[in-house]
Amino acid sequence: MSTTNKTVYIVGGPTCTGKSTVAFFLAKRINGEIVNCDSVQLYKYMDIGSAKPSEKHMAAVPHHLYDFVDPRENFTVAQYQKLAEEKIDDILARGKTPILVGGTGLYLNSVLYDMDFAAKPVDMKRRKELEDLGAKYGSDYLHQLLSAVDPEAAARIHPNNLRKIVRAIEAYELGGSINSMDKLKPNKKYDFRFYALTMDREWLYDRINKRVITLIRAGLIDEVKKLRSMGLTLDDPSMKSIGYKELFPYLDGETDLKTAVYEIMKNTRRYAKRQMTWLRRYDNVHWVEIRKGEAVSAVLDQILADVPDAKSANSERQSK
């Protein structure tokens, strides 16, 4: 890996803020390559519901860690961390700029911080503390704690499933405290430039609702049918993802399509809110506000405003 360039861009933000599009045009501007940081987009056969980047964008700019894991497999954060750092190192070694894109907080933490996912013995004392908290305040209380640190896991686990909630918290605590990220040591291997996209909440929620309709019309129901025909059930971690789990009751005849669509919208909005809560915990985030009608180029100008090389390139472009 090059010792002169350690810059890694991160484009984060809640779902439906346009991260993939912004990252694509950013990559075109800075000679970058995109590394996925979304826990659903890494799965094969889950293109529509996960809103993967378009084939056109993937062909125009190298995209890594998309569409390579069988949805029947249980892919871990430790596996992601290893592969992501390998990709980042390879991109830097070739003189290009890695751009991490996505909203999966624990995946992001695994790269931002020096998190050790090596096998550790179960801390039975800590497990009992968590179980006692659940017994005293209810499993929903623990579920809220889990949502604050790992919203993706929380979205997959029912608030009443105390055992799975406790195990998810234990998994998170392999790399940090449930109470804060203050104890995590920064990964000094890279120079991170962390940008989080944000927008007016009502506009974001409207975008979410409209995208759900778009995904349904694009064939999401048939996509879930195909996954079910492969033997996938709600017991598979991949099928606990938003946009997939809500369609199982519909396909089983337990509810109607209108209800299923409403549940997807509601759960996606809640997920976006949890993602914002997660992002506010970082000290090194540069917030980039997206306004209605604003061109992608204006968003990129906000991101590149503090980058000397990019400033020069922009000036040259504008003078031509």
Residues that constitute the known binding site = 13-20
Q: Which helix (H) or strand (E) holds 206?
A: helix 201-218
Q: Long-range contact list for 257-265, CB < 8 A, 24+ apart?
A: 257/221, 261/212, 261/213, 261/216, 264/212, 265/208, 265/209, 265/212
Task: Name the binding residues for ATP.
Answer: 13-20
CA angle 147, 150, 154 (to 5 degrees): 50
Sign of CA dihedral 77, 78, 79, 85: positive
Task: Evaluate whether 12 touches 19 at the Cβ level (below 8 Å).
Answer: yes
Helix (H) or strand (E) holding 194, with range, is strand 191-198
Angle separating helix axes 201-218 and 257-279, nearest 10 degrees: 140
Return the CA Rg of the chain: 20
DSSP letter at 255?
S
Single-letter residue type at 14 = P
Known binding residues for substrate: 15-20
Q: Exposure of 81 by Cβ count < 10 A (0-12 exposed, 13-18 middle, 19+ buried)?
A: buried
